[in-house]
Amino acid sequence: MTFPFAHKPAISRLMRYREFQSASPLSKHVECIWLLESGDQREYATPERILPDGCFELILNFGAPFREHKEVGRSELQPSRLVVGQMTQSVLVSPTGPVQLLGIRFAPGGSLPFFPVPPGELTNRIAPLNDIARALDRELSGRAYEVRELAEKIGVVETLLIRRMNAKEDRGASLRKAISEIVSSGGQTSVDRLAKDLGVSCRQLERRFVGEVGIGPKLLCRILRFQQVFRAVEQADKNWARIAADCGYHDQAHLIRDFRQFAGQTPSVLFEHLTPLAEFFTRKRRTSDFYNTSS
């Protein structure tokens, strides 16, 4: 899933990133389960930029903690089990040693059956799992650490999530078709029409999205259009005017404004210094197959 850019730092050759499709019945809620592994990364531990992608994540760290960099001069170590809510701005992180991460990437709205805290309360938050879902944290802190291999832990995590899913009502089903259309279109769809199809006002749709997805439908569209740029740049060779048009932007200035908000940089600067972690977690392809709209 990495982009074929030259002149990458040594860290890109040392990290191994893999994605796995989640087992049914989790597949309609979970976009994928991913693993990231490497040896000691302290030699390359410069802050790397993680970008908004429209998803909610549960991350289990079985290696050395990552450091999150905040304001100038401030940083803190992340907990070993954490929840990452919807992001509308980039986050800077760096490894402090060997990397062993297991992540559950929930599709937009897919986290509802698993966590007692509404997604809207976690937007732009990275929180210890124990603060959000204490029972799940307690189960994972035991069962997931009983098997040694990182890949074997996937089955343990899936079993625990399926158990929680079966015990709760699927509150997000009503919006799944609308979310699916937004995802499959790469954010290039009419929110007004989606509201009309659901028989609600745009304001009502906004409230439901914030409650069930963590961000409104128009903001989700913007983030997915932003993510489409990373795929389009391979085909247009950084012709920003063409890329802007292909990804649904009114003009190049509109694209640049979104990059400044979501990445904190212009597209030309970001792609000149795109780091391995940013590449691993950038969505080149999205699909609506995670949403079983027939149920």
User: Per-residue pLDDT tens for 73-114?
Assistant: 799 999 999 999 999 999 999 999 999 999 999 999 999 889
Q: What is the CATH code for 173-280?
A: 1.10.10.60
- Band of residue 273 on the pLDDT scale cut at 50, 70, 90: confident
Question: 58 vs 283, which has greater pLDDT?
Answer: 58
DSSP 134-159: HHHHHHHHHHTTSS-STTTHHHHHHH
The DSSP bridge partners found for residue 48 are 93
Q: How many CB atoms lie within 10 A of CB 6?
A: 4
- Band of residue 45 on the pLDDT scale cut at 50, 70, 90: low
Q: Could you give the angle at which helices 217-236 and 252-262 cross, rounded to 10 degrees?
A: 110
Q: Which of the residue ranges 44-48, 141-145, 147-151, 260-264 would you say has the lowest mean pLDDT?
A: 44-48
* The two three-digit tokens of residue 126, written as one number: 């990275």
Percentages (nearest 5) of helix, strand, coil residues in the chain: 40, 20, 40
- Band of residue 239 on the pLDDT scale cut at 50, 70, 90: confident
Q: Which of the residue ranges 13-22, 64-73, 259-268 would you say has the lowest mean pLDDT?
A: 13-22
Q: How many CB atoms lie within 10 A of CB 281?
A: 20
Query: Would you state the pLDDT for residue 10?
Result: 37
Q: How far apart are CA 246 and CA 244, in angstroms?
A: 6
Phi, psi of 242 (to 5 degrees): -70, -45
Query: Would you state the pLDDT for residue 165?
Result: 81
Question: 67 vs 292, which has greater pLDDT?
Answer: 67
Q: In the β-sheet with 16-20, what is the strand arrangement from edge to edge?
A: 16-20, 30-40, 98-106, 56-61, 81-84, 126-128
184-236 pLDDT per residue, tens = 999 999 999 999 999 999 999 999 999 999 999 999 999 999 999 988 887 76
- Give me the residue spans of the domains in the chain: 11-166, 173-280
Query: Would you state the pLDDT for residue 167?
Result: 62
- Three-state DSSP state, 203: helix
Q: How far apart are CA 20 and CA 12, in angstroms?
A: 20
Buried b (16+ CB within 10 A) or exposed e, 251-276: ebeebbebbebbbebebeebbeebbb
Architecture (CATH level 2) of domain 11-166: Sandwich (2.60)
Amino acid at 215: I
The DSSP bridge partners found for residue 34 are 19, 103
- Three-state DSSP state, 260: helix
Instruction: Answer whether 11-166 and 173-280 agree in fold.
Output: no
Amino acid at 217: P
54-78 pLDDT per residue, tens = 999 999 999 999 999 987 779 999 9
Q: How far apart are CA 166 and CA 177, in angstroms?
A: 21
133-188 pLDDT per residue, tens = 999 999 999 989 898 888 899 999 999 999 888 666 665 666 888 999 999 999 99
